[in-house]
Amino acid sequence: MSDYVIRSLTHDELRHAVNWADQEGWNPGLRDAECFRSTDPDGYMGGFLNDTMIASVSAVNYDDAFSFLGSHIVRPEYRGSGHGWTLAQHAYAHCEGRNMGLDGVVEQQDNYRKSGFTFAYNNFRFGAQIGDLLPQLGQVLGNGVAPLSSASDALTVYDRKLFPAPRDAFLQNWLGAPGHISRVYTENGRIKGYGTLRPCHSGYKVGPLFADDVGIAQALLASLLAAVPSDHHGQEVFIDIPQPNTAALAMATQLGLGKVLETARMYSSHEPDIDLNRIYGVTTFELG
């Protein structure tokens, strides 16, 4: 592999890697490349053979204690050649000394275990047509729901209880990205939930969807979907739900959402101390 070079990706190369993720069925958001890069520009790497990118991986360091791995893709014609493994070693080195998380396809769990990762729980992706969901949600729009376009100090404090590390730069880009729709729920001046909906290569995704209870989660979801143009109501919307949140799973069943994908959340050191019972939708499988 003497002609195999590993280096950080440029902005355009990262967009190319995101397109690969779409071809693999992960259905990334249209603005994911721009938002992802803000957290750790050096955390996106590619493997280049004779100056052609044949593999990609993300290894994003949020702080000195936590990182998240994702987008590990090798072009089909180069799989089994060792290029993906070599790239993964560079990703692990970039995250050295940190607890690393990942959401991987279930079939790859054994390979992740061999690399030192331990299973924590499954995440389930659910989907349904927006036009079918809105009548199910009915009139749950609460007076506490309001538009959200930037991350206030109060929001970052709320988010910190539900994510393993500070991610202020990411949140500012995520909430303000073109096409993203965000809502916050407050009660007596206190934030009790927030969520973001973004357009994807196919339909929309909701993530994060953080809420103190299922009623607030539904109020946020109803408000987000109501903001989608009516001529898009035939498109699907997807939500990624952690299996330990039984209230979120029950909500998905009640609303008629169908399960379309399952991943294994794994960590290299330990499962972070976050309240999964308030996570009704994971932010992204690529960044946690």
Q: Contact at 8 Å (CB) between 203 and 34?
A: no
Number of other CB atoms surrounding residue 96 within 10 Å:
9
Q: Pairing state of beta strands 181-187 and 190-199?
A: antiparallel
Q: Identify the pLDDT of residue 195.
A: 98
Q: Identify the pLDDT of residue 138.
A: 75
Q: Identify the pLDDT of residue 53.
A: 96
Which residue intervals of the chain are DSSP H helices? 11-23, 32-37, 83-94, 109-114, 130-137, 153-160, 168-176, 214-226, 246-255
Q: Identify the pLDDT of residue 109.
A: 86
Q: Identify the pLDDT of residue 141.
A: 56
Q: Contact at 8 Å (CB) between 68 and 55?
A: no
Q: Identify the pLDDT of residue 140.
A: 59
Q: Contact at 8 Å (CB) between 99 and 270?
A: yes
DSSP-based three-state secondary structure for 264 = strand
Q: Which domains does the chain have, with CATH numbers?
A: 4-101 (3.40.630.30), 123-281 (3.40.630.90)
Residue the block writes with tokens 């930037």: 150
Along the chain (288 residues), what's the average pLDDT of each consecutive run of 10 residues? 86 90 89 88 94 95 96 92 93 96 90 93 97 84 85 96 96 95 96 98 97 96 95 97 98 96 96 97 95
* Tokens of residue 288, six digits: 């946690």
Q: Identify the pLDDT of residue 38.
A: 84
Angle, alpha carbons 215-225-188 (nearest 5°): 40
Q: Contact at 8 Å (CB) between 54 and 84?
A: no
Sign of CA dihedral 32, 42, 70, 281: negative
DSSP-based three-state secondary structure for 57 = strand
